[in-house]
Homo-oligomer: A and B are copies of this chain.
């Protein structure tokens, strides 16, 4: 595995910048002990004048989180002209402003009139967007996957410092680019999406690595982002697998040491690595969390 220096575009923040806090408790021996825990804050996301959701987040990159969330929920089209994203720290709100009223707002008004409910639309809208997804046939070397897993597991992170967060890493070939963490695994993905939209990053040659499970929502988000490969050290749900097969996404889970399982899109894989050369489990585990 490469020992070259890690050069992330965005690496996890491990400085004490308000994302963690020291709290005091009593341990199993009855002794007073101090431990580091992650912060968790509400952030209410608005689309123009419309309140959309209150997310629980560690609090970094609120603008990316809002932008990515709205896009990944199908509430903001790829080509929607975003005029601004305004974060108000004291109000714990972030407002995404578009050029004109979005299709979603129109739909929401109608839905609210007919059934009085805005919540139920969310999932249906996400599935709808899947019809238009076209994922390129990017080839992926298994040696890249092993290298990525090793680099990511060895990167200093909030997870290693305080636990109780999930991480998502945007990668290209064998290089991890942007490593986001959050209380909710979906927030970490949404922050990646927000960064990609803001920086106009093309998704077709990227790989998304997540510490979280490969559920339907995770697979849908990755597909809507246009990223053809999703990798996790955690497991699968049947529906996550089904959707990945439908949209032609390469879905790899249970990636631990030399082992992994590919349950969709295996045709993108190029088995260039010798698994017997890989240590059986390189994950640095916190004993305190899962």
Contacts and interface: CB of A to CB of B under 8 A. Distances in A.
A164 B234 contact: yes
Contacts of A39: 237-239
Interface stretch (A28-36, A79-87, A129-137): A28-36
Contact of A275 (B28, B117, B214): B28
Given A183-B215, A275-B29, A287 B164 contact: no
Interface string A74-103: 000000000000000000000000000000
Contact of A40 (B26, B120, B240): B240
A8 to B, nearest CB: 23
B44 A215 contact: no
A183 B237 contact: yes
Nearest to A287: B256
A260 B28 contact: yes
Contacts of A200: none
Interface in A213-245: 213-217, 233-241
Contact of A241 (B23, B109, B256): B23
Interface stretch (A9-17, A48-56, A172-180, A189-197): A48-56
Interface stretch (A60-68, A201-209, A261-269): A261-269
A2 interface: no
Q: How large is the interface on A (under 10, 10 to 19, 20 to 34, 35 or more residues)?
A: 35 or more
Contact of A119 (B51, B115, B233, B237): B51
A211 interface: yes
Contacts of A263: 23-25, 35, 37
A102 to B, nearest CB: 13
A24, A37, A108, A237, most chain B CB atoms within 10 A: A237
Given A27-B261, A40-B215, A289 B234 contact: yes
B239 A40 contact: yes
A164 B213 contact: yes
Contacts of A108: 116
Contact of A235 (B164, B253, B259, B271): B164
A238 B119 contact: no
Interface string A104-145: 000011001001111110110000000000000000001000
23 contacts: A20-B238, A23-B238, A26-B262, A26-B266, A27-B259, A28-B259, A28-B260, A35-B261, A35-B263, A37-B236, A39-B238, A50-B115, A51-B120, A52-B120, A53-B119, A56-B239, A118-B119, A163-B236, A183-B213, A183-B215, A213-B289, A253-B288, A261-B288
